[in-house]
Amino acid sequence: MKPADSESNDASSELNLTHHFLIAMPSMQDPVFGGTVIYLCEHSPRGAMGVVINRPTDMTVSGLFDRIELKLENIPDSHPMGKHLVLFGGPVQDDRGFVLHAPAGQYTSSLKVTDNIAFTTSRDVLEAVAAGDGPERVLISVGYAGWGAGQLEKEILANGWLTVAADESILFDLPLEARFNAAIKLLGIDPLMLAAEAGHA
């Protein structure tokens, strides 16, 4: 039994996709995840968790702050932050807000993804943003995407996802509609070629 156990442990430790993008293959017909790019915040033998970074809701950041009774006090009305759209991060806990941000900072309930990026679930990061002294780069979502042990690996083996190391500029700086193609280009693939291959499948 021991050799088999060690082999499975080695396999799971080799495939650590934390701080990677998951890019939905064109063949994926899932209405929730089709056409999405997901930033993986955590991946371990116990499962995986991430945030969709290219699917907007119809709510702006200022609208969200109004709903949770926070005021963008030290951010002028002309600042684009308030007009940014809150993203649909995934179907898990889609009634709660989650924040991907850089730099990481010190917040009550925060998962450090890299030395510079964190995933925070506590209100204090939003309070810091509202006060004008929050992280420089922020992505706010409702909900997140989650997988149980071995589930994501099976979806990847079934050609549901492409994976590539994440790029912070795509995560925080690019317009939402440009993120899917930009993530595919990180793999050295022309998005049009990928779509054409899917059409012939």
Task: Flag the least confident range among 14-28, 42-56, 84-98, 187-201.
Answer: 187-201
- Confidence label for 31 from pLDDT (cuts 50, 70 and 90): confident
Q: Of 39, 67, 66, which Cα lies nearest the Cα of 54?
A: 39
How high is the mean pLDDT of the chain?
A: 85
pLDDT digits (tens, 9 = 90+) for 117-127: 999 999 999 99
pLDDT at 189 over 60: yes
Angstrom distance (rounded) from CA 175 to CA 4:
46
Q: Residue 123: enclosing H or E segment and its boundaries?
A: helix 123-131
pLDDT classification of 69: cutoffs 50, 70, 90: confident
Residue 195 banded pLDDT, cuts 50, 70, 90: low
Select from 53, 75, 84, 57 the least CA-distant residue to 169. 53
Q: Is 101 exposed, middle or buried (0-12, 13-18, 19+ CB in 10 A)?
A: buried
> What fold, for 16-188?
VC0467-like (3.40.1740)
H-helix or E-strand containing 170? helix 168-172
Residue 134 has pLDDT above 70, yes or no: yes
| pLDDT computed for residue 131 by the predictor | 84
Confidence of residue 81 (pLDDT cuts 50, 70, 90): low
Task: Find all residues with CB under 8 Å of 20, minimum gap 6, and list them.
Answer: 39, 40, 43, 163, 164, 165, 166
Domain ranges of the chain: 16-188
**Cα-Cα end-to-end distance for the chain:** 41
Residue 61: band (very low, low, confident or very high) from pLDDT cuts 50, 70, 90: confident
| pLDDT tens digits for range 2-20 | 333 433 344 444 689 999 9
